[in-house]
Amino acid sequence: MRGNSTASSVCGARKARGPATPRPVRILAVGRMKSGPEAALYAHYAARLRPPPEVTEIPEARGSAAEIRRREGAALLAALPPDAAAVALDLGGDAPDSEGFAALITRIEEAGRTACFLIGGAEGLDPSVTARAERRIALGPMTWPHFLVRGMLAEQLYRAQAIRQNHPYHRAWRP
Nearer to ligand SAM, 148 or 162 (CB): 148
Beta strand pairing status for 84-94 and 114-119? parallel
Nearer to ligand SAM, 7 or 89 (CB): 89
Question: In one letter, which amino acid is 31?
Answer: G
- As measured in angstroms, the least distance from the Cβ of 115 to ligand SAM is 15
Q: Which residue number has the CB closest to ligand SAM? A: 120
Residues that bind ligand SAM (CB under 6 A): 89-91, 119-120, 122, 124-125, 138-140, 142-146, 149
Residues forming the annotated binding site for S-adenosyl-L-methionine?
89, 120, 139-144
Q: How far apart are CA 29 and CA 163, in angstroms?
A: 25
Nearer to ligand SAM, 29 or 46 (CB): 29
25 Cβ contact list (under 8 Å, min separation 6): 49, 53, 54, 105, 114, 115, 116, 117, 157
- As measured in angstroms, the least distance from the Cβ of 76 to ligand SAM is 10
Q: How far apart are CA 42 and CA 52, in angstroms?
A: 11
Q: How far apart are CA 42 and CA 140, in angstroms?
A: 19
- As measured in angstroms, the least distance from the Cβ of 18 to ligand SAM is 26
137 Cβ contact list (under 8 Å, min separation 6): 87, 88, 89, 90, 93, 94, 95, 96, 101
Residues forming the annotated binding site?
89, 120, 139-144
Nearer to ligand SAM, 59 or 145 (CB): 145
- As measured in angstroms, the least distance from the Cβ of 13 to ligand SAM is 28
Nearer to ligand SAM, 11 or 29 (CB): 29
- As measured in angstroms, the least distance from the Cβ of 87 to ligand SAM is 10
Provide the angle, in degrees to the nearest 10, between the axes of the packed helices 98-110 and 146-164: 80
